[in-house]
Amino acid sequence: MKVGYHRGARRFLAARLGMFSIKETALADAAPTHPVSGHPVSGHPASGFPPAADLAPIKRALISVSDKTGLIDVATALAALGVELVSTGGTQAAIAAAGLAVKDISELTGFPEMMDGRVKTLHPVVHGGLLGVRDAPEHVRAMGEHGIGGIDLLYVNLYPFEETVAAGGDFAACVENIDIGGPAMIRSAAKNHGYVCVCTEAGDVAEVVSALQAEGATSLALRKRLAARAYARTAAYDAAIAAWFAKAIGDTAPARKTFTGSLIQTTRYGENAHQSAAFYGFARPRRVGVATARQLQGKELSYNNINDTDAAFELVAEFDPAESAAVAIIKHANPCGVALGDDLKTAYLRALQCDPVSAYGGIIAVNRRLDAEAAREIVSIFTEVVIAPDADDEAIALFANEKNLRLLLTGGLPDPRAEGETFRSVSGGFLVQSRDIARVTASDLKIVTKRPPTAREVEDMLFAFTIAKHTKSNAVIYAKDGQTAGIGAGQMNRRDSARIAAMRAAEAAEAAGLPQSLAKGSACASDAFFPFPDGLIQAVEAGATAVIQPGGSIRDKRVIAAADAAGIAMAFTGVRVFRH
């Protein structure tokens, strides 16, 4: 029902509501018709309204907040500026308890709060006060006729739906925390930003108070900024509800997909200097990582820093810190060295040995509390970012001397088995997929060669396959004794990836003064099947004695025969770990 269209409602409102009247002006022209259908259209097109004045005073504010942090400070500041306060339920009680004059919303609407608080602001007096265009004659006439007073400032924060979901609330609890009246008021106020300030956070109100103290009114530019933020907030809120509901009913591909984030930082530029970029975080609880990290020192993270740091930390989190220390060195989102060790210093030096050239200017992730011994080794070469769950005071002090090194502490590790989604934009749309949480164990392996792998080879195969999961396809990894020996990433054919990995292993051995390639006696992992024997033969020539791959090629028999001819062991995982 539109306000004023039902005669019974109009008589009822006129009798019940004692709001201050607004001076009537001449009636506006008749309602226009729709340009296509020709049917009457209620209201006025934007062009039918007089332009809003730049400066708008605030005489009345409606405050209704779930999170009451800073509420009394906000109410006190507004009251001191002569703003009349109107509020609801617990918000009204809190303001009144602070000794401030405040009207209950029921004094305006003539209706009590009802249905367990579900209905209190969904009323023509509230929305008419928010939506009424102050300079439109028809609006002024309607507001005066029905006793609707203008609401110049709305401050609403919403029921804690996201927090309820994050806390593991059951279905009923989540539904009950879906706010209805709040988003409706926010949207009404934001639409009428020509005359109304809409605030969804205490910081928004602070901007309004500052403007009132300086100018006695708010500017149209400020009201537009607040409206834009308000619509973003309701959009994020609705997106969270839609995502939760789809998951709750098991809809993995809903007809409409929405996701939003809150700005963490802007970056100086994007992947390249001519591109703009910003970093956003998803609603809490966020997955532990770069988005939750606390930066202790160094320059602001760049777009590429953030991308590479995420890749490094997700990789190193695959390894349980209770079992072994792990270090990953990343360059351009690909590992150039990963290793395990009894301590971080040992793991770092072993990871560095794999490709010391590429490690220069790289990103380092560790899976344990960073200690001084490891920190001393890390600062020996230029490093862009170090990310760790935590760090000792001495390690932090050592890094403090490296002004260009960023140190990020996350407070924990991401769970490699946790479900989630990943996104990628394409022209005209985006792709969504479930997070790759595949984890292959020894019991998952299907041994397809005459010679079975030794226990050590199985460990090396599983380690190498884990690294392949985090390396751009086509990926081939040589690894031995919990250390990458050579990494071939991002090639258009698998044979070249095997060749590059072998070259890296030989170069690393030469740099370390070792008599033979690091790939000698290694296990070789491929992120997808070998379509021909040539890639496997390349691995054998590099020195690999065992191979792990998904299998599934129409030429598997030829590849198996080549492995048997070389006397190596090979296992199929049945799981592909492409990464593009």
Least confident of 137-141, 194-198, 266-270, 371-375: 137-141
Which stretches within 379-454 are classed as H helix?
A: 393-400
Q: Is the peptide bond before 285 cis (omega within 30 degrees of 0)?
A: yes
pLDDT at 121: 73
Q: Are 138 and 44 in contact (CB under 8 A)?
A: yes
Tokens 């993995």 locate to: 252
pLDDT, tens digit (0-9, with 9 covering 90-100), for 542-571? 999 999 999 999 999 999 999 999 999 999
3-state secondary structure 248-296: HCCCCCCCCCCCCCEEEEEECCCCCCCCCEEEEECCCCCCCCCCCCEEE
Q: Measured between alpha carbons, how far is residue 248 from residues 207, 241, 252, 254, 418 in Å?
A: 39, 10, 10, 12, 17
Mean pLDDT value across residues 159-181 = 92
Write out the DSSP string of 177-201: T--SHHHHHHHHHHHTTTT-EEESS
Residue 444 has pLDDT above 70, yes or no: yes
Mean pLDDT value across residues 225-232 = 96
Domain boundaries, the chain: 7-40+52-248, 287-409, 440-572
CATH hierarchy code of domain 287-409: 3.40.140.20
The DSSP bridge partners found for residue 483 are 339, 480
Mean pLDDT value across residues 71-79 = 95
> Residue 274 contacts by C-beta under 8 Å, 6 or more apart in sequence?
none
Q: Residue 453 gets which letter from DSSP?
A: P
Residue 472 has pLDDT above 60, yes or no: yes
pLDDT at 135: 85
Q: What percent of the chain has pLDDT over 70?
A: 91
The backbone torsions φ and ψ at residue 494, rounded to the nearest 5 degrees and listed phi first, read: -70, -30
pLDDT at 144: 86
Give the pLDDT band (50/70/90) at residue 509. very high
Q: Are 522 and 545 in contact (CB under 8 A)?
A: yes
pLDDT at 10: 43
pLDDT at 342: 97
Helix 533-542 vs helix 556-566: crossing angle, to nearest 10:
20
Give yes or no on whether 287-409 and 440-572 have one common fold: yes
Q: Are 224 and 211 in contact (CB under 8 A)?
A: no
Q: Are 22 and 184 in contact (CB under 8 A)?
A: no
pLDDT, tens digit (0-9, with 9 covering 90-100), for 489-508? 999 999 999 999 999 999 99
pLDDT at 117: 67
Least confident of 130-139, 153-162, 365-374, 473-482: 130-139
Residue 347 has pLDDT above 90, yes or no: yes
Least confident of 23-37, 52-66, 323-337, 374-388: 23-37
Give the pLDDT band (50/70/90) at residue 23. very low
pLDDT at 5: 38
Q: Give me 17's structure tokens.
A: 């509501």
Residue 574 has pLDDT above 60, yes or no: yes
> Residue 213 contacts by C-beta under 8 Å, 6 or more apart in sequence?
81
29/37 Cα distance (integer angstroms): 20
Q: Is the peptide bond before 474 cis (omega within 30 degrees of 0)?
A: yes
Burial class (CB in 10 A: 0-12, 13-18, 19+), 434: exposed
Active site residue ranges: 191, 332
pLDDT at 51: 80
Name the 3-class secondary structure at 553.
coil
Q: Measured between alpha carbons, how far is residue 45 from residues 49, 139, 532 in Å?
A: 7, 13, 67
417/67 Cα distance (integer angstroms): 33
Mean pLDDT value across residues 27-41 = 44
Mean pLDDT value across residues 409-415 = 97
Mean pLDDT value across residues 67-73 = 93
How big is the chain by its Cα radius of gyration, in Å? 32
Name the 3-class secondary structure at 364.
strand
Tokens 């005359």 locate to: 195
- The enclosing H or E element of 558 equals helix 556-566
pLDDT at 120: 67
Q: Are 262 and 280 in contact (CB under 8 A)?
A: yes
480/302 Cα distance (integer angstroms): 34
68/555 Cα distance (integer angstroms): 66
**CATH number of this structure's domain 440-572, picked from the four choices 3.90.1660.10, 1.10.3720.10, 3.40.50.720, 3.40.140.20:** 3.40.140.20
Q: Residue 333 gets which letter from DSSP?
A: T
Residue 4 has pLDDT above 50, yes or no: no
Mean pLDDT value across residues 447-473 = 98
Give the pLDDT band (50/70/90) at residue 1. very low
pLDDT at 137: 86
511/71 Cα distance (integer angstroms): 64
Q: Give me 100's structure tokens.
A: 């401030």
pLDDT at 6: 43
Average per-residue pLDDT for the chain: 90
pLDDT, tens digit (0-9, with 9 covering 90-100), for 231-278? 999 999 999 999 999 999 999 899 998 888 889 999 999 999 999 999
329/255 Cα distance (integer angstroms): 40
pLDDT, tens digit (0-9, with 9 covering 90-100), for 103-160? 998 888 777 776 676 666 778 889 999 999 888 888 888 888 888 889 999 999 999 9
Least confident of 12-21, 113-122, 204-213, 414-423: 12-21
Mean pLDDT value across residues 313-319 = 98
Q: Are 348 and 371 in contact (CB under 8 A)?
A: no
The DSSP bridge partners found for residue 286 are none
7-40+52-248 CATH fold: Rossmann fold (3.40.50)
156/229 Cα distance (integer angstroms): 12
233/565 Cα distance (integer angstroms): 64
